[in-house]
Amino acid sequence: MAESLKPAQACSPAGIVNDREAWQTAICSGLWTCSRPATGRRPTTSCRKTTLSNLGFVLAGAVGLAAVRRSASFVDGREHLPWLVLFVGVLLTSAGSTWYHLAPTNDSLVWDRLPMTLGFMGLLAALIGERVSVRWGIVLLAPLVLLGAASVGYWIRTESLGRGDLRLYYLVQFYPLVAILLLLALYPPRYTRGADLIVALAWYVAAKGAESCDGTIYRALGFVSGHTLKHLLATVGALWLARMLLLRQPVPVQTAGTAA
């Protein structure tokens, strides 16, 4: 299977990407500073740092799973399932991202992106369950996870046809952010520390900002890329969610969301 971006084709000697789609791929997948392993050379220092930064996802996933296991974190035992999916996704992201950054191809990129969709959809289902209805959060969990997987499947299929289409993947990645903000604004909480959700989302937005400035950050700092910072900032966001689960308490019944 062809790679999404071949460094020799995508970048000029000055480091400027000539093709607009190749530029988008480089920015979104981290190939700007971490694509040289595909040439047969040893990984660059920036690539090794990006790979090592995936250890943060191991920490965040493990802490999150430990928080989910605490029965005190949930009024209804069913509520733990979407959070379990989220933190399993965080944990698996470490493995998938490590593979991809050491051997960047379409095949490895699938396993970098797929676990992230578990995180996005798990969080959305969790918030539906806590703000709208536990039942609907559980009912929608599987379809949302399948939609996330389908977005990656659609991309890799279109990529094999020479027209890699990431629109559905972008929708899966960003629509939950909008939906979560609406849920927070329109529905009453079941638990305290709702502001922690906003803080966690802010860390994620900061991570995406660092990713979008990957090459600029690397050229400016010289020792770390924007994609590495993305991993670190996203790790903080995931840890913030785990911290929220450990510290929060149920709100009074009269203001809690529906449990049915």
Domain around 224: 45-255
Instruction: Please state the domain count of the chain.
Output: 1
Q: Which residue has the higher pLDDT, 203 or 46?
A: 203
Q: What is the pLDDT of residue 219?
A: 84
Is 148 a domain residue?
yes
Q: Is 13 contained in some domain?
A: no
102 lies in some domain: yes
Average pLDDT score over residue span 80-97: 95
Q: Does the pLDDT value for residue 12 go beyond 60?
A: no
Query: Is position 226 within any domain?
Result: yes
Residue 223 within a domain:
yes
First to last CA, the chain: 47
Reported as a pLDDT band with limits 50, 70 and 90, residue 6 is: very low
pLDDT surpassing 90 at residue 127: yes
- What pLDDT score was predicted for residue 64? 96
Predicted structure pTM score: 0.79
Percent of residues, the chain, with pLDDT higher than 90: 56
The answer on pLDDT for 86 being more than 90 is yes
Identify the CATH number of the domain in which residue 147 sits.
1.20.1070
Residue 168 pLDDT grade (very low, low, confident, very high; cuts 50, 70, 90): very high
Q: What single DSSP character describes residue 162?
A: T
How much is the pLDDT for 216?
Answer: 87
For the chain, what's the residue count?
A: 260
> Does some domain include residue 59?
yes
Residue 8 lies in a domain: no
Residue 113 lies in a domain: yes
